[in-house]
Amino acid sequence: MHDCRPPSRALSRWLQNFESDPVDGRYGHLLLVEKPARDSDLGNQLRPYFESAHRDAREFFAGEIGISLHPDADEDDDASLLYPGCLPDTAKRGLFGEVMAGLVTENYEFVGGHEWSVPIFLFRYHADVEKYLFDLARDAERERAVFGRLGSDFIGLKLDDRGAVVRLIVGEAKWRGELSDAEVETLMLGKWKTNKRNGQRTRRGGIWAEINRDIDVPHGVRQLQRLLRERDRDGHAAAIVSMDKALVLRNPVPIARTNLIMIVGNGKAKRGEGEALLTWETIPEEYTSPHDLQVVEVILKDGEDLIDEIYDLLWKV
DNA sequence: GAACCGGTAACACGGCGGAT
DNA sequence: ATCCGCCGTGTTACCGGTTC
């Protein structure tokens, strides 16, 4: 289980927050900007949280692929094959965004003031990672791109005092090396596509489209429930039951939901002080879902260096 | 019904050319 | 010279349509 508290003090030293009042009680916007001087020890301060977030998947993949996690396993080579450090850079960037989504959810106050908990991360369901690791373990030369996780990137829960789930937070996390205006627009609205027949250009996909059409109880909830059942059946008995009620096909019991959009990356060169990527004064007009919306933007400088540093540190002595 | 083709989806980076 | 917008690259899986 994921049991590491977010490193609050490290976060407040690292990031400056620009918080704005919720709009209509249902839209929250939080801008987090990296402060000029990054603490040289920051990687170490974030490391326990990242290890906690990836622990389930690491154990799971090691078992599936047939690699021992034991330190004196006598096969030093195995260390280089271990999740998540062995993944290609692009995959690590994506993972970083997803872990950060959990980190900010647990650490900052979001729209509605709910208290969120992230019992476990869903990284083991990153099906293509498993295949990548399997191939890599048998052919060290093997290098290729890793296909992204399908479905929602991140699920968090709000539990009542009996431990039942009363609200979900469903997150979509994106990393981009350069958060230019065009890049953000593409991210939110989708890529330009040209219709071959009439030559018309339209945008397709994007975060807005994805989040607007997402089903109320996404597949990630089933995955989360399976994980809880396997890892901590007794500790989360009430949560498992309440998720069952929401997941049945006939007459499901609805669970309130908050959507989270998490954009993390390097700021564009000509970024103004406190400048946000998305509007915060009003609910973005592209958003049509009835659920509450929380946007978090994390603006870094040379974020790749930090990501590489963190993932190099994980599970190293 | 099986086998094939092309297109789309998801993830992110790299490079080109034009604008500042 | 630098920044920015746009398009192409690589990967797996699944969709619909066409052909045998």
**pLDDT tens digits, A84-104:** 877 777 778 878 888 898 999
What's the Å distance between residue A252 CA and nucleotide C10 C1'? 41
Q: Which positions of strand B lie within 7 Å of protein CB atoms?
A: 7-14
Q: Is residue A1 part of a domain?
A: no
Q: Is residue A261 part of a domain?
A: yes
Centre a 10 Å sphere on the Cβ of residue A254 and count the other Cβ atoms it contains. 9
Q: Is residue A278 part of a domain?
A: no
Bridge partners (DSSP) of residue A174 are A263
Nucleotide closest to A93 measured between CA and C1'? B12
Q: Is residue A213 part of a domain?
A: yes
> Does at least one atom of strand B sit less than 7 Å from the CB of A147?
yes
> Does at least one atom of strand B sit less than 7 Å from the CB of A308?
no
Nucleotide closest to A88 measured between CA and C1'? B12
Q: Is residue A280 part of a domain?
A: no
* pLDDT tens-digit profile, chain A (317 residues): 899 999 999 999 999 888 888 888 899 999 998 888 788 899 999 999 999 998 988 888 787 767 666 655 555 555 566 778 777 777 788 788 888 989 999 999 999 999 999 999 888 877 666 666 666 666 555 555 565 555 566 889 999 999 999 999 988 888 877 777 777 777 777 766 655 445 556 666 677 777 777 777 777 888 889 889 999 999 999 999 999 998 887 788 889 999 998 888 888 766 777 777 877 888 888 888 889 999 988 888 878 888 888 888 888 76
- Spatial CA neighbour of A252 closest among A213, A221, A289, A226: A221
Range of the domain at A264: 8-273+288-313
> Does at least one atom of strand C sit less than 7 Å from the CB of A203?
no
Output the pLDDT for position A205: 65
Please state, in angstroms and as integers, the Cα–Cα distance from residue A40 to each residue in A46, A264, A267, A302, A306, following that order. Answer: 12, 20, 20, 13, 10
What's the Å distance between residue A116 CA and nucleotide B1 C1'? 51
> Does at least one atom of strand C sit less than 7 Å from the CB of A199?
no
Please state, in angstroms and as integers, the Cα–Cα distance from residue A69 to each residue in A59, A74, A75, A83, following that order. Answer: 7, 11, 10, 10
Planar angle of CA A91, A295, A216, nearest 5 degrees: 85
Output the pLDDT for position A111: 94
Q: Which positions of strand C lie within 7 Å of protein CB atoms?
A: 2-7, 10-13
Judge contact between A6 and A107, C-beta under 8 A: yes
Q: For chain A, what is the domain count?
A: 1
What's the Å distance between residue A179 CA and nucleotide B12 C1'? 13
A135-159 pLDDT, tens per residue?
A: 666 655 555 556 555 556 688 999 9
Gyration radius (Cα) of chain A, Å: 20
What's the Å distance between residue A210 CA and nucleotide B6 C1'? 24
Cβ-proximal residues to A203 (8 Å cutoff; 6+ apart), any chain:
A186, A189, A190, A191, A192, A193
Q: Is residue A103 part of a domain?
A: yes
Q: Is residue A251 part of a domain?
A: yes
Output the pLDDT for position A74: 53
> Does at least one atom of strand B sit less than 7 Å from the CB of A150?
yes
